[in-house]
């Protein structure tokens, strides 16, 4: 990453953090994946129970491996045969790990979900939510964030899961009602009533979708 791009991201992150703070959420800037990992582990705290959805960003900074290897009670949904059991355990976790499909410059986050386990846990349940968000997901405004979620994140995830949706075949949203659609629930997080619950780590890297 070139020096001027690094500086631009750092300045933009500070703007996003101010927006998050105005919405009763905490924001942090990490210059790289290593800093993001260290901050995430600090926020989680040893001994905590930790659940997550399909957060690729957490994998990409090495957080999932660190939780499995360290002194944490990681709820590994891949190791629990019953999906409902996994979801219920996650709702009662100390910490839920997530990312955002998009985040605005003034701190509003957008997430789309198919089974709704991820967006429901973000909205309510776990005592703390830690977001890992690459600077590639920052958008000008809510309209831009919605477009990114629907036309970038959703098609890529549909392709990743091998789904037969129009967006998986064309790369853009058709506002479909396909049986395979993953655009079942839209969550816009614009404010947190619970101080200290939502924490967002902005990473100066390209992470997730």
What is the set of domains in the chain, with CATH numbers?
Answer: 3-203 (3.40.50.10420)
pLDDT in tens, 157-192: 999 999 999 999 999 999 999 999 999 999 999 999
User: What whole-number distance in Å separates Cα of residue 31 and Cα of residue 27?
Assistant: 13
pLDDT in tens, 2-59: 788 889 999 999 999 999 999 999 999 999 999 999 999 999 999 999 999 889 999 9
Q: Count CB neighbours of 120 within 10 A.
A: 17
In the predicted model, what is the mean pLDDT of residues 137-160? 96
Instruction: Write down the pLDDT at residue 77.
Output: 87
The single-letter DSSP state of residue 107 is S
Q: Concatenated DSSP letters for 179-194? A: TT-S-SEEEEE---SS
């Amino acid at each position: 990453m070139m020096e001027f791009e690094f500086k631009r991201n750092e300045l933009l992150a500070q703007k996003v953090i101010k927006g998050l703070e105005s919405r009763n959420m905490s924001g942090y800037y990490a210059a790289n994946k290593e800093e993001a990992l260290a901050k995430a582990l600090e926020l989680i705290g040893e001994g905590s129970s930790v659940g997550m959805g399909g957060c690729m960003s957490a994998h990409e900074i090495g957080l999932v491996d660190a939780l499995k290897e360290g002194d944490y009670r990681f709820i590994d949904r891949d190791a629990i045969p019953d999906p409902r059991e996994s979801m219920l355990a996650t709702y009662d976790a100390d910490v839920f790990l997530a990312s955002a499909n998009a985040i605005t410059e003034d701190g509003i986050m957008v997430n789309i979900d198919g089974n709704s386990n991820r967006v429901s846990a973000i909205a309510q349940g776990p005592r703390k939510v830690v977001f890992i968000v690459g600077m590639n997901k920052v958008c000008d405004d809510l309209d831009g964030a919605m477009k990114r979620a629907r036309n970038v994140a959703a098609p890529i995830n549909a392709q990743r899961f091998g789904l037969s949706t129009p967006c998986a075949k064309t790369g853009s949203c058709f506002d479909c009602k396909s049986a395979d659609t993953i655009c079942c629930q839209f969550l816009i997080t614009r404010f947190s009533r619970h101080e200290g619950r939502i924490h967002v780590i902005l990473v100066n890297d390209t992470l997730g979708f």
